A and B are shown apart, each in its own frame.
Chain A
Amino acid sequence: MIEARGLARTFRRKKQEVRAVAGVDLDVAAGEIVGFLGPNGAGKTTTLRMLTTLLVPTAGTATVAGCDLLADPVGVRRRIGYVSQSGSTQPEALAGEEVVDHGRLYGMSTADATARGRRLFTELDLEGLWERKPKAMSGGQRRRLDIAMGLVHEPGLVFLDEPTTGLDPQARANLWQHIRGLREERGTTVFLTTHYLDEADALCDRILVIDSGAIVAEGTPDALKSGVGGDVLTVTAARADEVGAVARLVAGLPGAEPPQVHGDRVVGRVPNGGGALVQLVRELDAAGLGVAGIESRRPSLDDVFLGLTGRSLREEGAPVAPVVPEPEGALR
């Protein structure tokens, strides 16, 4: 569905060059849900706007939905849907009219666009809002309206840029359901961007991690997480002056990587979290070291990102941040 090679875009703003995307290779097969995961400013939107013909790449080539991006942009436009990060409707217009006009710009008849729009309103829980102005809708409703706009012409490939940013947890979970439904019911290929780890984890068959305009890792959520190298062991020392001694014990566990120390917390990686935990508790006891907390958990995508870039996705741009403890299995 998508095949991109060396896609790059440089912006020139006041004599300063910004390399927003620095050569990206992408392969997305039909029927896949693929996520582009990265912090704000990583180049996700810029990549999407190139793939949807809105921006001309400064370098690289791509075939999208069977059409060459540069040679046949109209062919690409005809076959894809795009839901931008910043909305798609005039706040003062009526929701239904916006959808119908959008369908007409795809060459649909008014009758077809109306029928299809009505059906999408039902499917996306927008019933009764056909004559509502977008400015009088909730954030979640407006986002679903954007999605209806992007789907009115039944594209085989749809691009969703940060589909759930700014929504409350319930609205997000609801929207995920709809996005999964696209593939299940229609076989639609979905390419989405997100800076939410849980979203990438819950929704995507495959994730591309992007940072500073380049793809730094790629794989299924599970493969990425097992690539981190074992479980994450977090020990909080009872006394700050004992942190060093605790860290030495963690480092001595079988197969452990050198642990990181954040304040009174020691974070290490071990191949087998459960076994290591039992051994560590015994050794701590024998050494007479007290602990305020101890836990082992499966690695999260944040650990993946941290391992790849040295930065956490949760606190964007911040240097290595303390790992927020999460109970084992919370992410899967």
Chain B
Amino acid sequence: MNSYFLPAAKPISRLIEELHKLPGIGPKTAQRLAYHLLQAPPEKSRDLADAILGIKENLRLCSVCLNITDSDPCGICSDETRDGMKICVVEEPIDIMPLERTRKFRGLYHVLHGVISPSDGIKPEDLRIKELLDRLGSNSVTEVILATNPNVEGEATSMYIQRLITPLGIRVTRLARGLPFGGDLEYADDVTLSRALEGRQEM
């Protein structure tokens, strides 16, 4: 056990240890949170514990888009105002949120749950690509938008999926690779810059 945790009583050090395992929580923060919880009323602790357990008990994958949901199909898939002819393909459920925040996309999603990574031995079968093809086979989808991350694995995954979809006669597009807002032209790498040039738009 790490020396940070030693002086506290056992249940506290156990909590500190668990909190410390969470992303973005350093040992100091873990300690502060643990002592905060120690002083909070018992029902607060119970609410927190319930919320944590709740995400395991009530959540599952949407049977259509494989997003994490508490109702099946998920809120997006069952929303009749959305355009079922467009499917945006993302790597992880967490990628849907930023796209939704833009309010620019009114189609549906498909979550791959990973990317192809030859050097880690992650293959297409390890992802939800088959489910995507099944959706395309049975529905009137006209466009698939590939929104994988702009890194080598993301691009390889997109190129691979594009290869599978193109013969179906469905339009395949991918997100334009642009410059980050608030970024600096000077520091942009040439892949980003050349993709940004390719994706330039009329003003």
Q: Do A and B bind each other?
A: no
